[in-house]
Amino acid sequence: MKKLVTLLLAATLGLAAAQTTLTYATWDATREKADRKLIAAFEAANPGIKVKYNLVPWDTYWQKASAMVAGGVTFDVMWMDLDNFPFYASQGALEPIPLDAAEKAKYPAQSLAPYLIGDGSQTYGLPLGPQAVCVFINRALFKERGVPIPTTGWTWDQMLSAAQKLTFSKGGKRYWGINGSDLQPDLEYGMSFYYTFGGKGIIQKTANGYTPNLEATFRQTAQRLYDLIYKYKVSPTANDTPQAAYQLFQAGQLGIYVEGTWMTGVWAETPGLDWAFAPFPTLKAGEPPRPLYSAHALVIPKASKQKSAALTFARWITTSPQAGKILAENGLLPTQPDPYEKLFLNALKGRNGEVIFQQLKTSEIRFSNLRTVSNLPEVLNALNADLNLAWTGNLPLDKAIDKANTDMGALLKESKELKY
């Protein structure tokens, strides 16, 4: 009799477990194949948990997320970025994630830090792999123009001279050296040069709050980047072509393209493209480059009905060796990339992927110390709009930076500390 009860109990439990279905939401369509493989592997390793994949377009992702949270019906595991995280966390929309010291050690401290709240004891997000700003080159163009392929220690001046040689016309087509038009120093691509040049952060904490910090390093970096377009003319402008830089790169009309590791999936669309990673250029003798990376995270909304299964899934994706292996085999960086370097390099064979692992050693996450500035998105938007006027050739750079200084200052005066 007792046996029967146990059996029945086990059966019900098993049944209950078999019914757990998680919903998982992301905006990144380029990872869909890898995501589906991850889910299949997870389900095989965790019988009883099913995961439903939801791809939500970036253009409506945050509207959907905020409606769902307000309505108390949310996905169980969802992608979160660092622009939105402080708001969600401070509004109590996220479930704290219990992590002991041993588990914490499985995450790169730098990636985890922005998702720790207060004194650092509370975790509200598990970081995914680094999405690193990086330099792509078109090797065919380099060879054709007799430009040496960049190696470690590549300097800004070498990059500029390469870009100059790579800017030319042939057969009715123009070719450009570098995508200077994307390198506004307020965006992470341009800002990577600012940090490499010794920048300490464009917003400063003072005794009475926050102030903009667009000092000499910022101005000089901005000038260098701006000169790529308007002085050296090695970058296409919107008047030259409406094509986005990634499109020109895919068309083989752009030699150097500064963007991020997430583009490798896009390059796969053009098999004929002879692309490779190149080291991020140095701007100061003897100092390594400090390009930025971002680490999105998996979060569990408070309204999730499957928190423990959600936690199992989020942990598995971010720390399990199986997940790391699947990601690396698909040319993506796992949360802790180093153990999977060989697999990653193998997946992107001959693309010089080693430089990514090198640069990650000296990379940073921007603004990770400013996540409590309540109106940070608006402050950054003001900076972006003002610099954009310069970048599109509608305002001299000095004036644009002065204007940004004023606009940011006014907004920062209104900002409050977010409380968690």
Partner 1 sequence: MNRRLSPIQGVLVAVLGLGGLLIVLPFLWMVFTAFKTPDDAYAWPPTLLPKVWIAGNFKKLFELIPFGQMFWNSLWTSAVIASFNILLGAPAAYAFARLRFPGKSLWFNSHLLSMVVPWQITLIPTFLLVRWFGWVDSFAALIVPSLTSGYAVFMLYQFFRSLPRSLEESVLMDGGSWGTALRYIALPLSSGAVAAVWMLSFLGNWSSFVWPSIVLNSPEKMVLPVGLLALQNHFAINVPVLMAGSALAVLPTIVAYLFVQRYLTDAALSSGMKG
Partner 2 sequence: MMTHQSPSLTRPARPSTSLRREEALWGLLLVAPSTLVVLVFALLPILGSLGVSFTDWGGLSRPEWVGLANYQKALTNDPKALRYLLQTLIFSAFAVPLGLLVSLAIASLIHNVSSPAVRGFFRTLYYLPMVTVGVATALLWQALFGATGVNWLNQPSTVIPAVAFFTVWQGAGSSIILFLAALANVPKELYEAAQLDGARPSQLFRFITLPQISPTLFLVLVLSLIGSLQVFEAILFMTKGGPGDSSTTIAFYIYKSAFSYFRMGYATALSWLLALGLIVLLVAQWRLQRRWVHYE
Q: In the complex, which residues of this chain contact partner 1 (CB under 8 A)?
A: 23, 27-30, 32, 52-60, 63-64, 66-68, 70-73, 75, 172-174, 241, 243-244, 246-248, 250-253, 259-260, 262-263, 266, 269-270, 272-273
Query: What is the C-alpha separation between 103 and 109, in angstroms, rounded?
Result: 11
Contact 184, 388 (CB under 8 A): yes
Closer residue to partner 1 (CB): 263 or 418: 263
23 interacts with, out of partner 1, partner 2, none, CB within 5 to 8 A per kind: partner 1
Give me the residues that bind partner 2 (CB under 8 A), please: 59, 62-63, 66, 69-70, 83, 87-88, 91-93, 237-239, 241-243, 375, 377-378, 381, 385-386, 388-389, 392-395
Nearer to partner 1, 61 or 218 (CB): 61
The span from the CA of 316 to the CA of 327, in Å, is 12
Give the Cα separation of 7 and 57 in Å (integer).
46
- Smallest gap from residue 179 Cβ to partner 1 (A): 12
Question: Minimum Å distance from CB 235 to partner 2?
Answer: 14
Please list, in sequence order, all residues whose beta carbon lies within 8 angstroms of the beta carbon of residue 315, skipping any fewer than 6 positions away.
103, 126
User: How far is Cα 202 from Cα 191, in angstroms, rounded to an integer?
Assistant: 9
Q: What is the DSSP string of 310-334?
A: HHHHHHHHHH-HHHHHHHHHTT---
Q: Taking a C-beta distance cutoff of 8 angstroms, is the pair 62, 71 a contact? A: no
- Dist CA 216 CA 200 (whole Å): 11
Q: Least distance (Å) from partner 2 to the CB of residue 312?
A: 25
Least Å from the CB of residue 34 to partner 2: 25
CB of 136 to partner 1, least distance (A): 12
Shortest distance in whole angstroms from residue 251 CB to partner 1: 4
- Pick what 58 binds: partner 1, partner 2, none; C-beta below 5 to 8 Å, kind-dependent: partner 1
| Identity at 4, one-letter amino acid code | L
Task: Give whichever of 72 and 146 is closer to partner 1, judged by the CB atom.
Answer: 72
Q: Which does 262 bind (CB under 5 to 8 A by kind): partner 1, partner 2, none?
A: partner 1
Contacted entry of partner 1, partner 2, none for residue 41, CB cut-off 5 to 8 Å set by kind: none
Query: Taking CB within 5 to 8 Å according to partner kind, which of partner 2, partner 1, none is near residue 71?
Result: partner 1
3 state SS of 33: helix
Nearer Cβ to partner 1 (27/391): 27
For partner 1, the closer CB: 193 or 275: 275
- Shortest CB 262 distance to partner 2, Å: 20
Q: Closest approach of Cβ 360 to partner 1, in Å? A: 20
Distance CA 215, CA 82 (A): 25
Strands in 126-127's sheet, in edge-to-edge order, are 49-55, 20-26, 77-80, 297-299, 126-127
Which residue lies nearer to partner 2 by CB, 30 or 84? 84
Residue number, 16 or 67, with CB nearest to partner 1: 67
CB 337 within 8 A of CB 134: no
Contacts of residue 8, defined as CB under 8 A and 6 or more positions apart, other chains included, come to none
Residue 305's alpha-carbon distances to 24, 72, 302, 310, in angstroms, are 13, 10, 8, 9
